[in-house]
Amino acid sequence: MRVGRELTIGTLSRRSGVNIETIRYYERIGLLPAPPRSQGGHRLYSGEHLERLVFIRRGRELGFTLDEIRDLLGLMVGKHTCGEVQTMALAHLDDIRAKIADLRRMERMLAATIARCQGGGRSECPILDALAGG
Amino acid sequence: MRVGRELTIGTLSRRSGVNIETIRYYERIGLLPAPPRSQGGHRLYSGEHLERLVFIRRGRELGFTLDEIRDLLGLMVGKHTCGEVQTMALAHLDDIRAKIADLRRMERMLAATIARCQGGGRSECPILDALAGG
DNA sequence: CTAGGACCTGTAGCGGCTACAGGTTCAAGG
DNA sequence: CCTTGAACCTGTAGCCGCTACAGGTCCTAG
């Protein structure tokens, strides 16, 4: 890895914060372009690969699926309409909010059930009862 | 399905609200005991199967994993300690709350990014910039 | 007796990785 | 120059919790 601007997969992994296996996986599914290779067959990445990979990682952190990220990357390359991007992002925001609502419902139900447990110290368990019974 | 108390898998599915394929999957992974069969090989379920399946479904609705549900079912059968059940439920509640916190973070970041988009109507897209750049 | 719905088994696929096994290459130290 | 051993390679299988087939058999109402 002497020098030049080329990065080995290990270096790319460290700089991008994306696991090596995951990088190869992204290549396999066509999300990250296959880089040139050394004579021995090792992958040699450029700064553009790094940028793209960071883009993917940030997208994942925001909860976009890989397919959505693929679309976003497509919009980056062509002349994007900002409106398209915004539409995708808003749809995704709705998804996230729906998931939050689901989890909050779970949280409420579970907390309520557990609370009943603390009230009475009897032998029957209200948590199991709630799951089994009514 | 003439009568008796035995349920075919279709009936069990309707009454439990669990998909037929999923019921067979639960049997395969040992979560729901294999029922007796008709002469022709069709599964014939009892009311206890139905109860157990409803228990599983409720557990899933509360976000427990199948392994956690397996444990809870184990606690139902033996002489359970209510404390054990409560401990599991509380741990699970923590998980749910952590997931909610994650999603809220995503929601905030995404909403903030989208908001910047609405402010300025220029050609560059702040959403893509945020993913790519800094 | 026939039609067609309900059931059967077995296998493969989803998303997004992760974890091997069993090999090759690279770069630094002696 | 040679050896070590870390880093890399390919390919495959596993994780979770289902879901969706394909290609059959069974059951029951008319």
pLDDT digits (tens, 9 = 90+) for B4-50: 689 999 999 999 999 999 999 999 999 999 999 999 999 999 999 99
- Write down the pLDDT at residue A1: 42
Interchain CB contacts (distance < 8 Å): A and B: 117
B43 and B99 share a domain? no
A86 and A32 share a domain? no
A52 and A17 share a domain? yes
Domain boundary among B36, B64, B92: B64
Chain B residues closer than 8 Å to A107 by CB: 93, 96-97, 100
Instruction: With respect to residue A45, please indicate whether it lies within any of the assigned structural domains.
Output: yes
Any atom of strand C under 7 A from CB of A2?
yes
pTM over 0.85: yes
Residue B1 pLDDT class (50, 70, 90 cuts): very low
Q: How many CA atoms lie within 13 A of A85 on its CB side?
A: 29
Instruction: With respect to residue B71, please indicate whether it lies within any of the assigned structural domains.
Output: no
A58 and A106 share a domain? no
B54 and B19 share a domain? yes
A1 and A55 share a domain? yes
Q: Which A-chain residues 13-52 have CB contacts (< 8 A) with chain B? A: 51
Instruction: With respect to residue B90, please indicate whether it lies within any of the assigned structural domains.
Output: yes
Taking the CA atoms of residue A7, residue A8, residue A11 and residue A16 in that order, the dihedral angle to the nearest 10 degrees is 70
Mutation target vs A (from B65, B66, B82; most A CBs, 10 A cutoff): B82
CB B14 within 8 A of CB B7: no
Tell me whether residues A96 and B103 touch, CB distance under 8 A: yes
Instruction: With respect to residue B103, please indicate whether it lies within any of the assigned structural domains.
Output: yes
Any atom of strand D under 7 A from CB of A42?
yes
Instruction: With respect to residue B75, please indicate whether it lies within any of the assigned structural domains.
Output: no
Q: Is the pLDDT at B53 greater than 90, yes or no? A: yes
Residues 15-74 of chain B sitting with CB below 7 angstroms of strand D: 19, 21-22, 25, 38-42, 60, 65-67
The whole-angstrom distance between B63's CA and the closest CA on chain A is: 7
CB B80 within 8 A of CB A125: yes
B97 and B53 share a domain? no
CB B103 within 8 A of CB B97: no
Instruction: With respect to residue B72, please indicate whether it lies within any of the assigned structural domains.
Output: no
CATH of the domain at A2: 1.10.1660.10
> B15: domain range?
1-64
B2 and B59 share a domain? yes
Tell me whether residues A51 and B131 touch, CB distance under 8 A: no
- Regions of chain A short of the pLDDT cut 70: 1-4, 79-80, 118-123, 134
Beta bridge partners of A7: A45
- Write down the pLDDT at residue B2: 45
Q: Which B-chain residues 67-106 have CB contacts (< 8 A) with chain A? A: 72, 75-76, 80, 82, 85-86, 89-90, 92-93, 96-97, 99-100, 103-104, 106
- Give the residue, B74 or B122, on which the prediction is more confident: B74
- Counting the structural domains of chain A, the total is 2
- Write down the pLDDT at residue A3: 47
Sign of CA dihedral B23, B15, B47, A109: positive
B53 and B85 share a domain? no
Instruction: With respect to residue B16, please indicate whether it lies within any of the assigned structural domains.
Output: yes
Q: DSSP labels for A34-88?
A: PPPB-TTS-B-B-HHHHHHHHHHHHHHHTT--HHHHHHHHHHHHS---HHHHHHH
- Write down the pLDDT at residue A2: 44
A57 and A97 share a domain? no
- Write down the pLDDT at residue B103: 94
In the predicted model, what is the mean pLDDT of chain B?
Answer: 90
Instruction: With respect to residue A12, please indicate whether it lies within any of the assigned structural domains.
Output: yes
The whole-angstrom distance between A28's CA and the closest CA on chain B is: 22
